[in-house]
Amino acid sequence: MIKAETGDFIYVHVKNNASRAYSYHPHGLTYSKENEGAIYPDNTTGQEKEDGYLEPGKQYTYKWYVEEHQGPGPNDSNCVTRIYHSHIDTARDVASGLIGPILTCKRGTLNGDTEKDIDRSYFLLFSTTDESRSWYSDENIRAFTESGKINTSDPGFEESMSMQSINGYIYGNLPNLTMCAEDRVKWYFVGMGGEADIHPVYLHGQTLISRNHRKDTIVVFPSSLEDAFMVAKGTGVWMLGCQVHESMQAFFKVSNCQKPSTKAFVTGTHVIHYYIAAKEILWNYAPSGIDFFTKKNLTAAGSKSQLFFERSPTRIGGTYKKLVYREYIDASFQTQKAREEHLGILGPVIKAEVGQTIKITFYNNASLPLSIQPHGLLYNKSKEGSFYKTPGESTPPPSSHVNPGTTFVYTWEVPKDVGPTSTDPTCLTWFYYSSVNEKRNINSGLLGPLLVCRNGSLGEDGKQKGVDKEFYLLATIFDENESDLLEENIRTFITEPENIDKEDPDFQASNKMYSINGYMYGNLPGLDMCLGDNVLWHVFSVGSVEDLHGIYFSGNTFTSLGARKDTIPVFPHTSQTLLMTPDSIGTFDLVCITIKHNLGGMKHKYHVRQCGKPNPDQTQYQEEKIIYIAAEEMEWDYSPSRKWENELHRLQREKYGDSSSL
């Protein structure tokens, strides 16, 4: 790891001990052309080209400078994440392993090689390394397989070469992530790879500060660089990892080193008690049978919705048996509590203020072991609600798998350490779900919203003060192929279950339900508000790499973290809190504008009525601007000149004699 402060010069002495040429290229630093470490057509010759290719056995000294404008900004933490890598053929060089971390820090914030006021720091690279793109792929095949029997085009072999890892380790093998309780810990995250490398990185049992906002999940994409600060809580071995790639898992250990404690687990003076049961229901993704955008029947021939809603001897249709959380008035679990209709498939909204304790009496009224695991709260290992074995642990705690017909009491704390920062909204949007088998439980329907609010921000009725309406939106693709109840749904709704091929791509596509709160094609009810209302939208998502959503509100705008928008990006296992004051009356679209999701039914309507309130927009419009725009047809060449591309290929062939990647 290279560390430097603004104003520092960095001299890197590199020797190539490998068998082919490589280079050394930094991100986020200043360098001259002869110190860039990259090869491409840039009109340089001679000495200025030597940095771009370091032949085997050769040495080179790279000289870089950390300018003030390249260091951390005023709102950044003291040190921010950068990287270096070989830049001859970047994809293949990095797939071969040539990448590493750089930290650039504010002047005076390093104490020798460590960041001041930080006890531990860790750099984590999340990447799907495609070993078939490594320069050593053929050599590895010869060394570790019966190469004559390998078909490199076989999909199974290709998948086996795709290593979804953290720092090159998979399935919990990354060593030495250790810290003391109350340690101040800095995490540096990097994402690399291809289009599938969307990594929501979740740390169990902890919350983080990133970009001055409270989080427990940091999303990294290819070539994205993030950092986060954490005060370690809760002794024990915890899991961290990517929420969509199951092999990207690691463990970090928090030990009791007798440091002064913030007493995070002392029970609050006010206990909020919820009675929640898991139960099985029949769920219809579009109970009206109508696409409210086309006004046609959902099973109309040739419609996009026909795939999902037509029931046949080999198709389930739009109704599935699902698992849901529902709230009851007491521990008898006889009377269900009233709920807002827009929540749809979601479980009850759990709310608490900083300083309070949440107590959940959970009754499993389903037919398989289940749990409740929250995001954004503090808890000890016995109340985690997540089913995984840690090194040295033989059996997960009872909270991780509550058997059918039994109850378990979860107790979670809401100390100041998990509350909103000064730049966060009044209430943070989180969620909870069953985590016995996280993917299958969530796709079965077991999740709900959770809010952590500033002290004193909620009224006696539990509603946020100064807010007229609150809506909770889960944008996700419920993959019924991954539901715990798939087999039962096949037996119940398909007349010829013996003829079903569960691996058939068309069958699988028919079971991927592009929904918001479990509804599709405009069937989500209850999104009603008045002109001038203060409206909060709590938006979150779960799912897979397909769950990249752009949620668009037509007709009105909202603010998110101080920025005015009409569209918000939502990624798996992330959440957003949006404030809208509608100033337009009518019925408007609330849709995901990711094309496939939109066509698949992730689109609904919200309604703004007059209600006797004045229009909040009192702007006096004085000027009129007229713009004339025409739509025209034309031919478009994406690469009118191939000169630069051809020159790049020539340089690589000339210097390295290898054009296999071109």
d(CA 62, CA 60): 6
Buried b (16+ CB within 10 A) or exposed e, 224-247: bbbbbbbbbbbbbbbbbbbbbbeb
Q: Which amino acid is at 208?
A: L
Residue 629 to residues 623, 625, 626, 632, Cα–Cα distance (Å): 19, 13, 10, 10
Per residue in 599-631, is it b (16+ CB within 10 Å) or e — as a string?
ebbbbbbbebeeeeeeeeeeeeeeeeeeeeeee
d(CA 45, CA 122): 40
Please enumerate in sequence order all residues whose Cβ is within 8 A of that of 302, keeping only pairs 6 or more positions apart, or say none.
Answer: none
* Among 332, 376, 336, CA closest to 352: 376
Secondary structure class of 100 (helix, strand, coil) = strand
User: For residue 58, how many other CB atoms are within 10 A of its CB?
Assistant: 12
* Token pair for 661: 């990647």
Q: Are 81 and 190 in contact (CB under 8 A)?
A: yes
Please report which helix (H) or strand (E) contains residue 590, including its range.
strand 586-592
| Contact residues for 187 (Cβ-Cβ < 8 A; gap 6+) | 121, 122, 124, 203, 208, 218, 227, 228, 229, 230
The Cα–Cα gap between 630 and 650 comes to 42
E strands within 593-637?
603-609
Distance CA 64, CA 86 (A): 15
Choose among 491, 376, 488, 487: nearest CA to 429: 376
Q: What is the residue whose two structure tokens read 């991927």?
A: 512
Half-sphere exposure of 215 (CA within 13 A, CB side): 20
Question: Structure tokens of 537?
Answer: 């939208």
Tell me the CA end-to-end span of the chain in Å, nearest whole number.
31
Give the 3-state secondary structure of 238-300.
EEEEECCCCCCEEEEEEECCCCCCCCCCCCCCEEEEEEEEEEEEEEECCCCCEECCCCEECCC
What does the angle CA 513 – CA 218 – CA 379 come to, to the nearest 5 degrees? 90
- The Cα–Cα gap between 317 and 493 comes to 8
Q: Which residues are catalytic?
A: 592
Angstrom CA distances, 321 to 106, 438, 588, stand at 56, 18, 31
As a whole number of angstroms, the distance between CA 200 and CA 542 comes to 10
Distance between CA atoms of residues 339 and 344, nearest Å: 9
31 vs 23: CA distance, rounded Å: 14
Q: Percent helix, strand, coil in the chain (nearest 5)?
A: 15, 35, 50
